[in-house]
């Protein structure tokens, strides 16, 4: 057994799994609010505005956390912020459970949001920079798998804790246990060798690569590749990157998250019980479907994506995923419009359409969004550059989540799903023409390709 764990390949997977505990925190808190919020509203008799403010506190904190994390990752290293994030999350989660007032709870949720925003940048960044090109897709997608498991774990936790009016406190505090787990295990993480070379600490970079690469000559080759890549990076200021040759990559990162969110994924995850109830299932069955069917399918299809990303590639999976999402959303919308009132046929058609949607999302843009932004930016800017699409992700999440119920009220179920389907179609075109293929390429090779494309473009 000890021989197995001395294998560099196994060690990479173990380190990716440890870092991905941050994804568990991400997923758990995304899922637990759906079970906790109704109990908080009942316990404290919150009005709609205050309930929305409670949700907005987390999303606003996440935007700030993502932007701060990018700066810290580039200045102090990739590993340190993961440990700091675990402490921040534990503090916010525990404080949420003890909250004596709504103001306290909103502030605590903002602290949790800071941690989630930081996690969304630091974890995929760290994994991408220790992963070999041939398995980077699978390793970075460990984070997305952990997110889906965290969502399912939150659903199960909410179900087990029941509907007692004080149960929401225990739901929030349960998240602090995951934060402690991340804090303890993060001491085993290795610093990014790319960041170490950038900081002129080649000796430590070689030591780290010795843990990750079996052959000494391969360590020399990797160090040389990193140095060549750093030497070729002429734009190490974020403003110059955005205004200069890196603008297409920034558009790619933000665009991926725009379409990831505007196909309605979080609206469907957050409000799945209500959607199933409208389709004709009774309340208890609808909650069970949201918990088991969607949660388990999300996990299983993410596992499938991990197996396909480094074999099939990013762009083919995006094409398949957006096509499937658009068709399934259109099918759900037409089902609501044709049947009008809840019926036996309607409920099964809606269930099939939404399960297909979840499957297509989980095998494509779900993991690929986090993967692509960890690949397409240069080493000396990767943290700061990743923070911008990550912050945009949380903003888009807020827009879609807050607009979903008003859309249902004013447009109706069918047209709302039809609108999401249009975004799915637009996402297909975006990925077809603006997203590069990065399968099998070292991070430095991706930068070389992007520099060549930038040189070939006419000046603006």
Q: Is residue 39 part of a domain?
A: yes
217 is a domain residue: no
User: Does residue 182 sit in the same domain as residue 259?
Assistant: no
Whether residues 180 and 320 share a domain: the answer is: no
DSSP 109-150: HHHHHHHHHHHHHHHHHHHHHHS-GGGHHHHHHHHHHHHHHH
Is 211 within a domain?
Answer: no
For position 3, what pLDDT does the model report?
A: 45
Same domain (yes/no): 154, 244:
no
Verify that 152 and 275 share a domain, yes or no: no
Which residues form the domain of 336? 233-460
Quick check: is 205 in a domain?
Answer: no
Report pLDDT for 460. 53
Report yes or no on 327 lying in a domain: yes
pLDDT at 6: 61
The Cα 386–Cα 382 span in angstroms is 6
Q: Is residue 45 a part of any domain in this protein?
A: yes
Q: Domain check: are 118 and 237 in the same one?
A: no
Same-domain pairing of 298 and 372: yes
Residues 177 and 25 sit within 8 Å (Cβ to Cβ): no
How large is the angle between the packed helices 382-410 and 413-434, nearest 10 degrees?
150
Which residue spans within 332-410 are E strands per DSSP? none
What pLDDT score does 280 carry?
79
Which pLDDT score is estimated for 327? 97
Whether residue 184 is found in the same domain as residue 246: no
Neighbours of 34 (CB within 10 A): 20
Q: Which pTM value belongs to this model?
A: 0.88
**Domain endpoint, select from 190, 205, 222:** 190
Predicted confidence pLDDT, tens digits, the chain (460 residues)? 344 446 777 888 888 999 999 999 988 988 888 778 888 888 888 887 888 788 888 888 999 999 999 888 888 888 888 888 999 999 999 999 999 999 999 999 999 999 999 999 999 999 999 988 888 999 999 999 999 999 888 888 887 887 777 889 999 999 898 899 899 988 889 999 999 999 999 999 999 988 888 777 788 888 999 888 888 765 556 666 666 666 788 899 999 999 999 999 988 887 777 788 777 777 666 666 776 788 889 999 999 999 999 999 999 999 999 999 999 999 999 998 887 666 667 888 988 999 999 999 999 999 999 999 999 888 888 888 899 999 999 999 888 888 887 888 888 888 999 999 999 999 999 999 999 999 998 888 888 887 777 666 665 5
Number of independent structural domains in the chain: 2
In this structure, are 443 and 314 located in the same domain? yes
CATH number at residue 430: 1.20.1250.20
Helices H, strands E: what count in the chain?
22, 0
Residues 21 and 146 in one domain: yes
Alpha-carbon gap, residue 323 to 359, rounded angstroms:
12
The contacts of residue 192 (CB under 8 Å, 6+ apart) are 77, 78, 79, 125, 126, 129, 130, 208
| Token pair belonging to 220 | 């020399």
Would 395 be classed as within a structural domain? yes
pLDDT of residue 435: 93
Alpha helices by DSSP H, listed for 233-339, are: 238-243, 247-262, 265-279, 283-288, 295-312, 314-339
Residues 262 and 348 in one domain: yes
């Amino acid at each position: 057994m000890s021989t197995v764990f001395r294998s560099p390949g196994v060690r990479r997977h173990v380190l990716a799994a440890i870092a991905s505990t941050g994804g568990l925190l991400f997923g758990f808190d995304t899922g637990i609010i759906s079970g906790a919020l109704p109990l908080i509203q009942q316990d404290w008799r919150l009005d709609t505005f205050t309930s929305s403010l409670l949700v907005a506190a987390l999303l606003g904190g996440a935007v700030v956390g993502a932007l701060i994390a990018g700066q810290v990752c580039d200045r102090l290293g990739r590993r340190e912020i993961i440990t700091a994030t675990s402490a921040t999350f534990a503090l916010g989660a525990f404080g949420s459970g003890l909250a004596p007032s709504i103001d306290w709870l909103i502030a605590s949720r903002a602290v949790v949001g800071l941690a989630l925003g930081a996690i969304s940048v630091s974890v995929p960044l760290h994994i991408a920079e220790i992963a070999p090109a041939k398995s980077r897709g699978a390793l970075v997608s460990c984070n997305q798998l952990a997110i889906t498991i965290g969502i399912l774990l939150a659903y199960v936790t909410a179900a087990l804790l029941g509907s007692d009016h004080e149960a929401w406190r225990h739901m929030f505090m349960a998240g602090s246990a995951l934060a402690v787990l991340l804090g303890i295990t993060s001491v085993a993480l290795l610093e990014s060798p790319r960041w170490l070379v950038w900081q002129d600490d080649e000796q430590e970079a070689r030591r780290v690569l010795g843990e990750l690469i079996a052959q000494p000559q391969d360590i020399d080759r990797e160090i040389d590749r990193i140095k060549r890549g750093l030497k070729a990076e002429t734009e190490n200021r974020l403003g110059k990157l955005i205004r200069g040759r890196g603008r297409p990559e920034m558009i790619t990162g933000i665009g991926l998250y725009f379409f990831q969110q505007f196909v309605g994924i979080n609206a469907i995850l957050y409000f799945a019980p209500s959607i199933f109830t409208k389709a004709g299932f009774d309340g208890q069955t609808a909650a069970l479907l949201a918990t088991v069917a969607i949660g388990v399918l999300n996990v299983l299809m993410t596992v499938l994506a991990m197996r396909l990303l480094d074999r099939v590639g990013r762009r083919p999976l995006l094409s398949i995923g957006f096509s499937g999402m658009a068709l399934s959303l259109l099918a759900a919308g037409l089902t609501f419009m044709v049947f009008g009132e809840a019926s036996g046929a309607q409920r099964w058609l809606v269930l099939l359409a939404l399960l297909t949607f979840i499957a297509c999302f989980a095998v494509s843009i779900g993991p690929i969004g986090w993967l692509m932004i960890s690949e397409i930016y240069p080493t000396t800017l990767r943290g700061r550059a990743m923070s911008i699409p990550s912050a945009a992700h949380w903003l888009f999440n807020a827009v879609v989540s807050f607009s979903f119920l008003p859309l249902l009220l004013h447009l109706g179920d069918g047209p709302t799903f039809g609108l999401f389907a249009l975004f799915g179609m637009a996402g297909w075109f975006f990925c077809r023409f603006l997203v590069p293929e990065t399968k099998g390429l070292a991070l430095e090779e991706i930068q070389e390709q992007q520099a060549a494309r930038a040189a070939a473009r006419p000046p603006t």
